[in-house]
Amino acid sequence: MTRMPGAAAAAIAGADFGPAVVPCHVAIIMDGNGRWANAQGLPRIEGHRQGVETVRRTVRHARKRGIRFLTLFSFSSENWSRPKEEVTFLLGLLKMFIRRDLAELDSANVRVRVVGEREGLGEELCALLDEAEATTRSNTGLTLVIAFNYGARNEIVRAARALAAAVAAGELAIGDIDEAAIAARLDTAEIPDPDLVIRTSGEMRLSNFLLWQAAYSELVFDAVHWPEFDDAAFDRALEEFAARDRRFGGLSVRAGA
Ligand code: IPE
Ligand code: IPE
Ligand code: MG
């Protein structure tokens, strides 16, 4: 593999090549909306509203960089513990995003997938999520994975139940339960594991995000709050990823290492 430092590449005729090693799947914990809003003297929900603009920008930039899968952690199974008005606002924001952006995403050849538990989201939102997935099912560009009402432990519990049901029905032998059988029953079935997980706002934790899938992901933390995560911040994370030495428990494959 030929590696060219991003800065050197960008210097060629002012072209914008981006980093030399582009991750296939980037997953982002979009954190810091509330703190961003507070710092501006605004209510927390204004941070969420502004966060949607960052989502649009991030999807565009991911497409530009040739990323194949982009997962955005939008609402966790633990976020129900927030004040009711904030929860209602976040559910409404997802509805609005799909209503306003689905046609554009579709025309940009983006395939939408939604992961997380559907129960408790209400009929209207569930129908919109189904519509987003169905409309874009055969698109071949970026796959945008929206993690909504998502919690990794909840996802693993549901997968365990599905496995137990298959065993009870005589469709699966206990000895056939392997990593692939578990992965196939997670919400992320057929989505490759994230190569890079980015979290904004300076917190350095996973908060129940993709615990199974992120086993060997590279983690990048940025102090910037989500509403201010721009293309330059995204590129910084991609550059950091490109400089990492992934070993997967083996030995370095880098020349001379
Ligand atoms: C991330 O921003 C959005 C969601 C979790 C829905 P926060 O709302 O967590 O913002 P902070 O972390 O309180 O600043
Ligand atoms: C994680 O952020 C969830 C999302 C970004 C949707 P939180 O703000 O909920 O995480 P904690 O509570 O700081 O761990
Ligand atoms: Mg937060």
- Tell me 175's DSSP state: G
Q: Find the residues whose C-beta lies inside 6 A of ligand 2.
A: 29-31, 73-76, 79, 203, 205, 207
Per domain, the residue ranges of the chain are 19-151+196-242
Helix (H) or strand (E) holding 26: strand 25-29
At 103, list the tokens: 């046609």
Beta bridge partners of 94: none
Residue 4: pLDDT band (50, 70, 90) is very low
The phi, psi pair for 151, rounded to 5°, reads -145, 130
Q: Tell me whether residue 16 is annotated as binding.
A: no
Q: What is the pTM of this model?
A: 0.94
Dump pLDDT digits (tens) for 53-78: 999 999 999 999 999 999 999 999 99
Dump pLDDT digits (tens) for 201-238: 999 999 999 999 999 999 999 999 999 999 999 999 99
Superfamily of domain 19-151+196-242 in CATH is Decaprenyl diphosphate synthase-like (3.40.1180.10)
Dump pLDDT digits (tens) for 102-148: 999 999 999 999 999 999 999 999 999 999 999 999 999 999 999 99
Residue 80: pLDDT band (50, 70, 90) is very high
pLDDT at 14 over 80: no
The two most distant CA atoms of the chain are separated, in Å, by: 63
pLDDT of residue 2: 42
The protein residues having their C-beta less than 5 angstroms from ligand 3 (an ion) are 31
Average pLDDT on 70-91 reads 98
- pLDDT greater at residue 61 or residue 19: 61
Ligand in nearest proximity to the CA of 93: 1
